[in-house]
Amino acid sequence: MNFFKRGLLSITRKKGKSLILLAIIFILGNLIAGGISIQQATNNVEQTIKERLGTSATLQPDHEAINQMSEEEWMDFEYPTVSLDLIQQVGQLSYVKYYDYSISTYLGSDSLDSYQGDTDMYEGHGMEFRLKGTNYAPVMDFEEGDAQLVDGRVFNDEEVTNGAPVAIISKNLAEHNQVTVGDTIVLKNIIFDYESGDEEEYASRDTALEVIGLFEPLSSVEEGEDSNQDRGMWDFMDMEAQNTVYVPNGVVGEEFEFQIEKNIELYPEDAMFYEDGFDSYYTPRYVLHSVDDVEAFSEEVQPLLPDMYLVRSAVDQYDNIAGPIQSMSKQSNYVLIASIIASVLIIGLVVLLFLRDRKRELGIYLSLGESRGRVLGQVLIEVMLIALIGIALSLFSGNLLASSVSDTLIANDEQSQGFDDFYYYDEFETNVSSNDVLDSYEVQLSTTYIVWFLVVGLLTVLLSTVIPLLYIVRLNPKKILM
């Protein structure tokens, strides 16, 4: 009788021991399956959310490090800036799909009323229109979905290069002031003298701009049953977007030059702060080809930047909004490692005990001339067949267990950390919330999960069986049968 048939007969004849080993592998398999299932789900969430966050990156001062500086360090500290040449150099890297650098300032108007939405709680301060420049003719915000053009056209390359006095304004601002595409709006650049004690106008100039397009900013708060909660901040941000006027960088540059000139007249002692002009005020934004390029892009750019400057990408926000998911991922990782170690020890101990009980049987096989390799093969077949059944059963139950445990862990993290309905905003203007992360989380019985679990499970059982098999190698059939 070959060793394979002997292995099958051993399983069926010793049903009690086979069932004990099956139960142990099934229980431990559930822990391994649950850990792998949660890991797969969290990895899928991370990929999905990072793709939603986009591939944008920018260069900015390391505010956290700057804020932690001591008073002595502040005395000799010179606020870091990046030059326009460096911004353009980074834009030529192979990771960059396209890029823009923008400069902004605020203007007022005597003929244009700012858009205030449905509330009058925000009073104007005289400079209510954000003049936002662009060096990328199609307009980066439109290309990246932060806003959409609804009428007219975007800039052309000649207008951007020459700093033509053309503008794209919001549809709501246009309707509020009965402005249509082709009309001219007039904004006012005002310099105030604050030293007199009152806010007096020191100098001003008008800037006429032809409206070539209308846009709609994407709502910071999606419409829904919870859209009325915490409206204050979102209304303010929406008004900021509605009162933004897109123009070529050259237009903003001229307004900056006027502001610098008049501020030096008012405060000659501050002239040193304007030696670099407005070049240091540019904010770059790079769109990379893929989310996978973000890390490599950061590693290549960081050495080019001055001290206290860093690369910041849109996907960095994932760490801020994925607290419950990351916490659960860490816990499941610990459970997975612990369950694998426990499986190796427990299954190995059980197999060893079973082999000791079968010492005489194994000695007879060896004394009859059966090779040690075939005896080892018989034991491996017995254990691996039982393991295959136990792992197959725990494949489904472990997945259900992971789903149930995940719901409990997420609920606990939400209550303890307060992530409900909270949105995170920065210069990338994403509206991905922690709830979006949680909604993307789903434990699935995917092909990847099945393959990974079978590989990890069977390798764990194989490892736990190999160690006790050393016992067979050391058996001396003469001593056993004496």
- Residue-wise pLDDT tens for the chain (482 aa)? 566 676 677 777 777 888 888 888 888 888 888 788 777 777 777 677 776 777 888 998 887 888 887 777 777 777 778 888 999 999 999 999 999 999 999 999 988 998 887 655 545 456 889 999 999 999 998 998 888 999 999 999 999 999 999 999 999 999 999 999 999 999 999 888 877 666 778 889 999 999 999 999 875 444 444 445 455 556 667 788 899 999 999 999 999 889 888 888 888 887 777 766 666 788 899 999 988 888 899 999 999 998 888 998 877 776 666 666 667 777 778 888 888 888 888 888 888 877 777 767 766 766 766 676 777 777 788 888 888 888 888 888 877 777 776 666 555 555 544 444 434 344 555 555 556 555 556 666 778 778 888 888 888 888 888 877 776 666 565 555 55
Q: What pLDDT score was predicted for residue 430?
A: 55
Quote the DSSP letter at residue 219: P
Q: What pLDDT score was predicted for residue 232?
A: 53
Hunting for tokens 């910071």 — which residue is that? 220
Q: What pLDDT score was predicted for residue 264?
A: 84
Q: What pLDDT score was predicted for residue 429?
A: 52
Q: What pLDDT score was predicted for residue 411?
A: 59
290: helix, strand or coil: coil
How many angstroms separate the CA atoms of 43 and 400, rounded? 18
Hunting for tokens 């051993």 — which residue is that? 10
Q: What pLDDT score was predicted for residue 77?
A: 73
Q: Residue 252 is encoded by which pair of tokens? A: 């903003």
Of the candidates 112, 108, 114, 104, the one whose C-alpha atom is nearest the C-alpha of residue 127 is: 108
Give the H/E segment covering residue 252. Answer: helix 249-266
Per the DSSP assignment, residues forming a β-bridge with 312 are 58
Q: What pLDDT score was predicted for residue 424?
A: 39
Which amino acid is residue 265, in one-letter code? E
Q: What pLDDT score was predicted for residue 440?
A: 59
Cα four-point dihedral sign 450, 452, 454, 456: negative
How many angstroms separate the CA atoms of 14 and 386, rounded? 12
CB atoms within 10 A of CB 76: 6
Of the candidates 212, 233, 100, the one whose C-alpha atom is nearest the C-alpha of residue 166 is: 212
